[in-house]
Amino acid sequence: MAEKVRICSVDDVAEGFPYAVNPAGFPALVVFQIANEIFVTGNLCTHGHALLSEGFQEGEVIECPLHGGAFDIRSGEPVALPCSERIPTYEAITENGEIFINASQRSGF
Ligand code: FES
Protein backbone atom coordinates (compact mmCIF):
# COMPACT_ATOMS: atom_id res chain seq x y z
CA MET A 1 0.00 0.00 0.00
CA ALA A 2 1.30 3.46 -0.87
CA GLU A 3 2.56 5.67 1.93
CA LYS A 4 0.21 8.55 2.68
CA VAL A 5 0.93 11.98 4.07
CA ARG A 6 -1.73 13.62 6.24
CA ILE A 7 -2.29 17.23 5.20
CA CYS A 8 -5.32 18.38 7.24
CA SER A 9 -8.77 17.44 8.51
CA VAL A 10 -11.93 17.50 6.41
CA ASP A 11 -13.29 20.01 8.96
CA ASP A 12 -10.54 22.47 8.00
CA VAL A 13 -11.88 22.84 4.46
CA ALA A 14 -15.15 24.55 3.54
CA GLU A 15 -16.45 25.07 0.02
CA GLY A 16 -15.42 28.50 -1.22
CA PHE A 17 -12.58 28.78 1.31
CA PRO A 18 -9.34 27.33 -0.13
CA TYR A 19 -7.12 25.97 2.66
CA ALA A 20 -3.33 26.32 2.41
CA VAL A 21 -1.13 23.48 3.66
CA ASN A 22 2.64 22.99 3.62
CA PRO A 23 3.43 19.30 4.15
CA ALA A 24 7.13 18.46 4.47
CA GLY A 25 8.71 17.47 1.17
CA PHE A 26 5.99 18.98 -1.01
CA PRO A 27 5.60 22.37 -2.63
CA ALA A 28 2.97 24.65 -1.08
CA LEU A 29 -0.44 23.04 -1.59
CA VAL A 30 -4.04 24.16 -1.35
CA VAL A 31 -7.07 22.06 -0.48
CA PHE A 32 -10.52 22.69 -1.94
CA GLN A 33 -13.97 21.32 -1.31
CA ILE A 34 -16.40 21.06 -4.21
CA ALA A 35 -19.81 19.55 -3.40
CA ASN A 36 -18.36 17.49 -0.52
CA GLU A 37 -15.45 16.23 -2.63
CA ILE A 38 -11.88 17.16 -1.71
CA PHE A 39 -9.27 18.31 -4.25
CA VAL A 40 -5.62 19.24 -3.75
CA THR A 41 -3.49 21.36 -6.08
CA GLY A 42 -0.28 23.33 -5.95
CA ASN A 43 -0.81 26.68 -4.24
CA LEU A 44 1.41 28.79 -6.50
CA CYS A 45 -0.06 30.43 -9.57
CA THR A 46 1.97 29.50 -12.64
CA HIS A 47 1.79 33.05 -14.00
CA GLY A 48 3.48 34.74 -11.05
CA HIS A 49 4.07 34.03 -7.41
CA ALA A 50 0.61 34.59 -6.03
CA LEU A 51 -0.95 32.11 -3.63
CA LEU A 52 -4.13 30.58 -4.98
CA SER A 53 -5.31 30.04 -1.40
CA GLU A 54 -5.76 33.83 -1.31
CA GLY A 55 -7.81 33.74 -4.50
CA PHE A 56 -11.51 33.32 -5.16
CA GLN A 57 -13.14 29.93 -5.58
CA GLU A 58 -16.18 29.89 -7.84
CA GLY A 59 -17.44 26.31 -8.02
CA GLU A 60 -14.76 24.27 -9.78
CA VAL A 61 -12.59 27.28 -10.66
CA ILE A 62 -9.99 29.10 -8.59
CA GLU A 63 -9.23 32.67 -9.65
CA CYS A 64 -5.78 34.03 -8.86
CA PRO A 65 -5.88 37.12 -6.61
CA LEU A 66 -3.14 38.94 -8.55
CA HIS A 67 -4.12 39.25 -12.23
CA GLY A 68 -7.40 37.36 -12.45
CA GLY A 69 -6.08 34.25 -14.21
CA ALA A 70 -7.90 31.07 -13.27
CA PHE A 71 -7.56 27.28 -13.11
CA ASP A 72 -9.89 24.30 -13.16
CA ILE A 73 -9.48 22.84 -9.66
CA ARG A 74 -10.19 19.25 -10.80
CA SER A 75 -7.71 19.15 -13.69
CA GLY A 76 -5.29 21.96 -12.86
CA GLU A 77 -5.70 23.30 -16.40
CA PRO A 78 -5.70 27.08 -16.91
CA VAL A 79 -9.12 28.46 -17.86
CA ALA A 80 -8.46 32.20 -17.95
CA LEU A 81 -5.58 34.34 -19.17
CA PRO A 82 -2.93 35.34 -18.33
CA CYS A 83 -2.47 31.80 -16.98
CA SER A 84 -1.37 29.33 -19.65
CA GLU A 85 0.44 26.61 -17.69
CA ARG A 86 -1.37 24.10 -15.52
CA ILE A 87 -0.94 23.76 -11.78
CA PRO A 88 -0.09 20.33 -10.34
CA THR A 89 -2.92 18.27 -8.93
CA TYR A 90 -2.69 15.65 -6.19
CA GLU A 91 -4.90 12.68 -5.44
CA ALA A 92 -6.80 13.42 -2.22
CA ILE A 93 -7.47 10.45 0.04
CA THR A 94 -10.10 10.99 2.74
CA GLU A 95 -10.23 8.58 5.69
CA ASN A 96 -11.95 8.99 9.05
CA GLY A 97 -12.28 12.75 8.65
CA GLU A 98 -8.63 13.24 7.71
CA ILE A 99 -7.19 14.19 4.32
CA PHE A 100 -4.04 12.56 2.94
CA ILE A 101 -2.06 12.67 -0.27
CA ASN A 102 0.05 9.95 -1.76
CA ALA A 103 3.68 10.28 -0.65
CA SER A 104 4.83 9.14 -4.09
CA GLN A 105 3.72 12.52 -5.46
CA ARG A 106 6.38 14.27 -3.39
CA SER A 107 8.22 15.64 -6.37
CA GLY A 108 5.15 17.34 -7.87
CA PHE A 109 4.59 16.61 -11.56
FE1 FES B 1 -1.68 34.62 -10.96
FE2 FES B 1 -0.74 36.61 -12.47
S3 FES B 1 0.13 35.77 -10.68
S4 FES B 1 -2.61 35.52 -12.72
Residue spans per domain, the chain? 4-95
- Pocket flag, ligand 1, residue 79 (CB < 6 Å): no
- Pocket flag, ligand 1, residue 50 (CB < 6 Å): yes
d(CA 99, CA 81): 31
Contact indicator for 56, 63 with CB cutoff of 8 Å = yes
- Pocket flag, ligand 1, residue 54 (CB < 6 Å): no
Give the distance (Å) from ligand 1 centre to CA of residue 63: 9
The torsion angle over the Cα atoms of residues 24, 100, 34 and 55, rounded to 10 degrees, is -10
Locate the ligand 1 atom nearest the alpha carbon of residue 55 and give its number.
1
Say if residue 108's pLDDT is above 50: no
Global pTM reads 0.93
pLDDT tens, residue by residue, 17-59: 999 999 988 999 999 999 999 999 999 999 998 999 999 999 9
Pick the CATH number of 4-95 from 2.102.10.10, 1.10.10.10, 3.40.50.450, 1.20.120.1760: 2.102.10.10
